[in-house]
């Protein structure tokens, strides 16, 4: 999220003053890195994919095992997180379709939290 925020809101304002920085930032994602040193940011960007997969998988498994929220929503969350890397193998038009199971799992979990009835304590 932080990378997307910088790309959308900060880079346009910095582009005229530091074009080498902008070139290096955009190259970090999809091309030659440029000559501007970004320090450890490319390493953090590289780790976001595995951390996303591991976090979603563990949270889905924990949700399934705990049984407090709908178990199958947790299973769908874990499965859809593991399927995310497959999107890179599909054509560009089909890539967003891989996110549908993730959206359904998150909507299901959100609905379960919102519609929860709390018991009155004495």
User: What's the mean pLDDT when you consider all of the chain?
Assistant: 87
Q: What is the reported pLDDT for 27?
A: 81
**Domain annotation covers residue 119:** no
Asked whether the predicted pLDDT for residue 84 surpasses 90, the reply is no
Question: Which structural domain range is residue 27 located in?
Answer: 2-38
**Domain annotation covers residue 102:** yes
Length of the chain: 122
Q: Are 35 and 20 in contact (CB under 8 A)?
A: yes
**Domain annotation covers residue 78:** yes
40-61 pLDDT, tens digit each: 787 788 888 899 999 999 999 9
Asked whether the predicted pLDDT for residue 28 surpasses 90, the reply is no
Return all residues near 12 (Cβ < 8 A) that are at least 6 apart: none
Residues 19 and 56 in one domain: no
Model confidence at 70, pLDDT cuts 50, 70, 90, reads: very high
Q: What is the reported pLDDT for 43?
A: 79
DSSP state of 19: H
Residue 23, token pair as written in the block: 């070139």
Residues 77 and 20 in one domain: no
Residues 13 and 32 in one domain: yes
Model confidence at 107, pLDDT cuts 50, 70, 90, reads: very high
């Amino acid at each position: 999220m932080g990378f997307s925020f910088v790309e959308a809101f900060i880079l346009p304002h910095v582009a005229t003053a530091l074009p080498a920085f902008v070139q290096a930032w955009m190259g970090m994602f999809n091309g030659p890195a440029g000559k501007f040193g970004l320090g450890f940011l490319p390493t953090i960007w590289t780790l976001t994919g595995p951390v996303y997969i591991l976090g979603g998988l563990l949270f889905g498994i924990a949700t399934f095992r705990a049984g407090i929220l709908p178990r199958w929503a947790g299973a769908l969350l874990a499965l859809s997180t593991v399927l995310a890397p497959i999107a890179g193998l599909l054509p560009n038009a089909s890539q967003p379709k891989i996110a549908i199971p993730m959206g359904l799992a998150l909507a299901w979990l959100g609905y379960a939290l919102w519609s929860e009835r709390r018991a009155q304590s004495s």
